[in-house]
C-alpha cells in the first residue's frame, strides 16, 4: 500500500486537520461556526468533484442531495425521534437512492443537457417538498428544543455536529484519493476524456457513471442532515438553494477539478473570500456576483484550477499532488 | 481452422443512405483481412457494426460462435474484440501509461490495476513507446498517437483486432515500423481486420482482401485475385495515380 505514503494526500489531510482542530483547542464557538461552514464546503465540493472532476459531468443541481438528505434526517428525528447518527446515515442513503434512480434516467444525457436536467430536478424537488404535507410544506420541519437534550444540551449538540463534519471532511479526502487511485477511478477518468472511446475500451459506462453519481451524492446527503440539525429547522428555500450548488462548482473549479487537493483548497479559499465579501460594506450585497465573475475568470484563464495549473506547469508535481 | 468472425448479410442505413448492403464474410482465426475501397464505401461503418457502435438493420454478426449483433462495445471488449480509430482518440488528459493501463483493465482479461500497469509497460515496450510512458497522451505526435491506439487495443489482449487506417498520415519509415508491428501481433495469434488505403502495405500483409464500394461487397479473395479483378480496378484501383494523389492529400 505505497499509496498511503503519497505526500499530497498527507498534505491535504494535514490542512483539514489544522483547520478542524483550531476551534476545538480554544473551545471557540465563533471559530467553530466559521470552520463548520468551511468543512461543509470541503465535503460538498470534494463529493461534487467525483462527478465533475473525475467523470466530467457538470451537475448544477447537486444541492438536491443535500436538501433531500436534510429533509429525510430532520423528518426522522422530529417524527420518530431517531438518533442523529441514524438520521445522518438515512440522509446519505436517501441521497444515494435518489442519485441511483436519477442516474439511470439522466446520465444518458451528455454535456449541457445533463447539467440542465440536474437543475430541473432540483427545482422539481423543491416544488414537491413545498407541497408535501408530511415534510411541513412551505414551512418545513422544526426541531423541538428537547431533541438536543439527548446530546447533553444544545451547546454540546453543536460541538457534536462539528466533530462529525470534521470526521466526514477527513473521510471525503480519503474516499476521493482512493477512488482516484483505483481501477474505478481510471474508468471515470476515461469517461471524462472520451466517453465513446471508454466504451470501446470496455468501460461499462452506464454503471461507472451511476456509481460516480451515487458516490458524489452520499456525503452531501449526510452533511445536509448535520447542517439542518444544527440549524434546528429546514425549509424548502434553504434546502434546495440553487446558488449554493453553483458556489460549490466555483470552489471545485477554483481549486482544480479532478484533483484531490483542489476542491479542498477551493472550498477553503472561497469561504475565506466569501467571509471577507459578506463583511465588507461594498461587496456584501453583491457577493454572489463576485462568485459569478470568479467562475468566469477561472473558466477563461485557468480552466484547470489552482492545483491543475500547478500540475501543468510542473509535471513533476503530477505524482505528488493527486 | 474455424472462423472467429462470421458476418452475415449486414445491411446498415442512415436515413436514405444505404451505407452497407448485405455484407457477408467469414474470417478464419489467425488471418489478416484487408478491407479496402474508396472513401465513403462503408468500411468504417462496417467496423462500427462489428464493434457494436451501430446496430445493423439486417444481418447478424457472430464472434467466436456467439451472436453479438447489437451488443454494446464494452461487452465486446470484454469478449476479446478491440479496435483503433481512424482519427486517433487518445485520452488526452491521461498519461500514455494510464491510457494503456485502461486498455488492460477493461479489456478481455479484466485485469486488476496493479497487473494492468505491468501489462501496459510490457505493451509499451513492444510498441516502442516505453520512454514516453509518463507523458500526457496529448503531447504525442500523430505517429506516436497511432502507436498509442495500437498499444491500448493490444493491452486488452484481444482475439480480434480491428485496425482502422493505422498507416494513414505516417511517413514511409513509420509505415514500415507499423507493418512490422502488425505482423508481430498476427504472429502472436491475434486475428486482424485492417482498413487501409496504403495499397502496397495492404497487398503485402493481408491473407485475404475484401473490397467495398458504395456499401456493396464487390470482390473478395487473395491479394492477387483482388488486384486482378476488373470490378475492383474500375471502382478503386482503376487509376493508380489518382489513388496515390488521394492518399497524399489525407
Q: What is the DSSP code string of chain B?
A: --EEEEEEEEEEEETTEEEEEEEEEEEETT-EEEEE-STTSSHHHHHHHHTTSS--SEEEEEETTEE-TT--HHHHHHHTEEE--SS----TTSBHHHHHHHHHHHSTT---HHHHHHHHHHHHHHHT-GGGTTSBGGGS-HHHHHHHHHHHHHHT--SEEEEESTTTT--HHHHHHHHHHHHHHHHTT-EEEEE---HHHHHHH-SEEEEEETTEEEEEE-HHHHHH-HHHIIIIISSHHHHHHHHHH-
* C-alpha cell of residue B154: 493490444
Rg (CA), chain B: 18
Instruction: Among B101, B134, B156, identify where a domain stops.
Output: B156
Cα–Cα distance for residue pair B176/A22, rounded to 1 Å = 65
Residue A279: its pLDDT value, please? Answer: 86
What's the pLDDT band for B240 if we cut at 50, 70, 90? low
Which residue in chain A has the smallest CA separation from B72?
A199
Residue B190: its pLDDT value, please? Answer: 95
- Regarding whether B172 and B75 lie in a shared domain, the answer is yes
Cα–Cα distance for residue pair B47/B62, rounded to 1 Å = 14
Instruction: Among B156, B179, B208, identify where a domain stops.
Output: B156
Residue B248: its pLDDT value, please? Answer: 52
- Of all residues in chain A, the percent with pLDDT exceeding 70 is 99
Q: What angle do CA B148, B37, B246 make, to 5 degrees?
A: 75
A71 or B234, which is more confident?
A71
Cα–Cα distance for residue pair B63/B231, rounded to 1 Å = 30
A-chain residues near B110 (CB < 8 A) = 202
Residue A1: its pLDDT value, please? Answer: 43
Where do we find the cell 428537547?
A146
Which residue in chain A has the smallest CA separation from B135?
A315
- Regarding whether B170 and B148 lie in a shared domain, the answer is no
Residue B241: its pLDDT value, please? Answer: 54
Which helix (H) or strand (E) is A141 found in, with range? strand A141-142
Q: What is the pTM of this model?
A: 0.90
Residue B10: its pLDDT value, please? Answer: 93
- Regarding whether B138 and B106 lie in a shared domain, the answer is yes
- Regarding whether B59 and B20 lie in a shared domain, the answer is yes
- Regarding whether B241 and B166 lie in a shared domain, the answer is yes
> Which structural domains are found in chain A, ordered by start?
2-320 (1.10.3470)
* pLDDT of B193 above 90: yes
Query: What rounded mean pLDDT belongs to chain B?
Result: 89
What's the pLDDT band for A58 if we cut at 50, 70, 90? very high
Q: What residues have CB less than 8 Å from B122, skipping those under 6 apart?
A: none
Contact A200 B98 (CB under 8 A): no
Residue A199: its pLDDT value, please? Answer: 94
* pLDDT of B31 above 90: yes
* pLDDT of B201 above 90: no
* pLDDT of B1 above 70: no
B169 or A196, which is more confident?
A196
Residue B250: its pLDDT value, please? Answer: 41
Instruction: Among B156, B183, B210, identify where a domain stops.
Output: B156
B-chain residues near A194 (CB < 8 A) = 89, 91-92
Which range is least confidently modeled, A238-252, A278-292, B65-79?
A278-292
Whether the CB of B101 is below 8 Å from some CB of chain A: the reply is yes
Instruction: Over range B123-127, report the average pLDDT.
Output: 94
The 3-state DSSP class for residue A62 equals coil
B-chain residues near A202 (CB < 8 A) = 73-74, 77-78, 105-107, 110, 156
- Regarding whether B131 and B13 lie in a shared domain, the answer is no
Domain assignment of residue B144, given as a range:
88-156
Determine the residue among B84, B85, B93, B107 to mutate to test chain A binding: the one whose Cβ has the most chain A Cβ atoms within 10 Å.
Answer: B93
Cα–Cα distance for residue pair A302/A220, rounded to 1 Å = 27
Give the residue among A77, A84, A118, A124 at the shortest CA–CA distance from A216.
A118
* pLDDT of B243 above 70: no
Model pLDDT for residues B73-118, shown as the tens digit of each residue: 999 999 999 999 988 999 999 999 999 999 999 999 889 999 999 9
Q: Kindly report the CATH number assigned to the domain that includes residue B61.
A: 3.40.50.300
Give the residue among B167, B214, B220 at the shortest CA–CA distance from B43.
B214
Which range is least confidently modeled, A3-7, A260-264, B178-182, B187-191?
A3-7
Q: What angle do CA A40, A97, A186 make, to 5 degrees?
A: 75
Contacting B with CB below 8 Å, chain A residues are 182-183, 186-187, 189-190, 192-194, 196-205, 258, 315, 318
What's the pLDDT band for A117 if we cut at 50, 70, 90? very high
What's the pLDDT band for B239 if we cut at 50, 70, 90? low
B27, B220 Cβ separation under 8 angstroms: no
A227 or A112, which is more confident?
A227
Residue B16: its pLDDT value, please? Answer: 86
A196, A183 Cβ separation under 8 angstroms: no
Minimum distance, in Å, between the CA of residue B192 and any CA atom of chain A: 16
Instruction: Over range A121-136, report the average pLDDT.
Output: 94
Q: What residues have CB less than 8 Å from B234, skipping those under 6 apart?
A: none
* C-alpha cell of residue B136: 500526457
Whether the CB of B14 is below 8 Å from some CB of chain A: the reply is no
Q: Number of structural domains, chain B?
A: 2
Instruction: Over range A180-209, report the average pLDDT.
Output: 94
- Regarding whether B76 and B177 lie in a shared domain, the answer is yes
What's the pLDDT band for B246 if we cut at 50, 70, 90? very low
- Regarding whether B92 and B73 lie in a shared domain, the answer is no
Give the residue among B162, B194, B166 at the shortest CA–CA distance from B36.
B194
Query: What rounded mean pLDDT belongs to chain A?
Result: 91
Residue B238: its pLDDT value, please? Answer: 65
Other beta carbons within 10 angstroms of residue B189's beta carbon come to 9
- Regarding whether B192 and B118 lie in a shared domain, the answer is no
DSSP state of A257: T
- Regarding whether B179 and B228 lie in a shared domain, the answer is yes
Model pLDDT for residues A147-173, shown as the tens digit of each residue: 898 888 888 999 999 999 999 999 999
Q: What angle do CA A204, A206, A208 make, to 5 degrees?
A: 65
- Regarding whether B134 and B170 lie in a shared domain, the answer is no
* pLDDT of B123 above 50: yes
Which residue in chain A has the smallest CA separation from B93?
A193
Q: Which phi and psi (to 5°) does residue B134 adopt?
A: -85, -10
Cα–Cα distance for residue pair B144/B91, rounded to 1 Å = 13
CA-to-CA separations, B200 to B87, B178, B242, B249, in angstroms, rounded: 21, 13, 15, 17
- Regarding whether B135 and B24 lie in a shared domain, the answer is no
Which residue in chain A has the smallest CA separation from B53?
A200
Model pLDDT for residues A285-299, shown as the tens digit of each residue: 888 888 788 888 888
Give the residue among B52, B50, B56, B51 at the shortest CA–CA distance from B20.
B56
Amino acid at each position: 500500500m505505497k499509496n498511503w505514503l503519497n505526500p499530497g494526500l498527507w498534505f491535504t489531510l494535514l490542512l483539514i486537520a489544522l483547520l478542524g482542530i483550531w476551534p476545538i483547542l480554544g473551545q471557540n464557538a465563533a471559530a467553530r461556526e466559521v470552520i463548520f461552514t468551511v468543512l461543509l464546503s470541503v465535503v460538498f465540493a470534494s463529493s461534487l468533484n467525483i462527478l465533475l472532476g473525475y467523470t466530467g459531468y457538470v451537475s448544477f443541481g447537486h444541492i438536491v442531495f443535500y436538501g433531500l438528505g436534510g429533509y429525510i434526517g430532520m423528518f426522522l428525528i422530529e417524527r420518530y425521534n431517531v438518533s442523529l447518527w441514524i438520521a445522518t446515515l438515512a440522509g446519505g442513503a436517501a441521497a444515494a437512492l435518489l442519485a441511483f434512480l436519477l442516474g439511470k434516467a439522466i446520465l444518458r444525457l451528455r454535456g449541457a443537457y445533463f447539467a440542465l436536467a440536474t437543475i430541473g430536478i432540483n427545482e422539481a424537488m423543491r416544488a414537491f417538498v413545498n407541497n408535501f404535507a408530511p415534510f411541513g410544506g412551505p414551512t418545513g420541519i422544526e426541531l423541538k428544543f428537547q431533541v438536543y437534550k439527548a446530546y447533553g444540551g444544545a451547546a454540546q449538540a453543536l460541538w457534536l455536529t462539528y466533530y462529525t463534519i470534521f470526521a466526514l471532511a477527513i473521510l471525503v479526502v480519503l474516499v476521493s484519493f482512493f477512488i482516484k487511485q483505483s481501477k474505478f477511478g481510471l474508468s471515470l477518468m476515461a469517461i471524462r476524456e472520451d466517453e465513446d472511446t471508454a466504451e470501446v475500451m470496455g468501460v461499462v459506462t452506464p454503471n461507472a457513471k451511476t456509481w460516480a453519481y451515487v458516490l458524489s451524492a452520499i456525503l452531501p446527503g449526510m452533511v445536509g442532515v448535520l447542517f439542518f440539525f444544527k440549524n434546528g429547522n429546514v425549509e424548502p428555500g434553504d434546502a434546495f438553494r440553487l446558488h449554493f450548488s453553483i458556489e460549490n462548482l466555483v470552489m471545485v473549479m477554483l481549486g482544480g477539478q479532478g484533483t484531490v487537493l483542489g476542491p479542498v483548497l477551493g472550498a477553503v479559499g472561497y469561504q475565506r473570500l466569501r467571509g471577507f465579501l459578506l463583511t465588507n460594506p461594498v461587496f456584501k450585497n453583491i457577493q454572489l456576483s463576485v462568485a459569478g465573475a470568479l467562475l468566469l475568470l477561472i473558466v477563461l484563464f485557468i480552466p484547470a484550477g489552482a492545483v491543475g495549473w500547478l500540475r501543468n506547469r510542473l509535471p513533476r508535481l503530477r505524482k505528488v499532488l493527486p | 481452422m474455424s472462423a472467429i468472425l462470421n458476418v452475415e448479410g449486414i445491411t446498415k442505413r442512415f436515413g436514405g443512405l444505404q451505407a452497407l448492403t448485405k455484407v457477408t464474410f467469414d474470417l478464419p482465426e489467425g488471418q489478416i483481412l484487408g478491407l479496402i475501397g474508396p472513401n465513403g464505401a462503408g468500411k468504417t461503418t462496417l467496423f462500427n457494426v462489428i464493434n457494436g457502435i451501430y446496430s445493423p438493420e439486417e444481418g447478424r454478426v457472430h464472434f467466436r460462435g456467439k451472436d453479438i449483433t447489437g451488443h454494446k462495445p464494452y461487452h465486446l471488449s470484454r469478449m476479446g474484440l478491440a479496435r483503433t480509430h481512424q482519427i486517433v482518440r487518445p485520452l488526452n488528459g491521461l498519461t500514455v501509461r494510464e491510457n494503456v493501463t485502461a486498455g488492460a483493465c477493461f479489456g478481455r482479461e479484466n485485469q486488476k490495476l496493479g497487473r494492468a500497469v505491468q501489462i501496459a509497460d510490457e505493451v509499451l515496450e513492444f510498441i516502442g513507446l516505453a520512454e514516453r510512458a509518463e507523458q500526457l497522451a496529448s503531447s504525442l505526435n500523430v505517429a506516436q498517437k497511432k502507436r498509442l491506439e495500437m498499444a491500448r487495443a493490444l493491452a486488452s489482449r484481444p482475439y480480434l483486432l480491428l485496425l482502422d487506417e493505422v498507416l494513414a498520415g505516417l511517413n514511409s519509415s513509420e509505415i514500415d515500423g507499423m507493418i512490422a508491428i502488425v505482423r508481430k501481433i498476427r504472429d502472436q495469434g491475434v486475428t486482424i481486420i485492417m482498413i487501409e488505403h496504403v495499397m502496397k502495405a495492404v497487398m503485402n500483409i493481408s491473407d485475404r482482401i475484401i473490397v467495398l464500394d458504395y456499401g456493396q461487397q464487390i470482390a473478395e479473395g487473395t491479394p492477387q485475385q483482388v488486384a486482378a479483378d476488373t470490378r475492383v480496378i474500375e471502382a478503386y484501383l482503376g487509376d493508380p495515380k489518382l489513388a496515390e494523389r488521394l492518399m497524399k492529400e489525407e
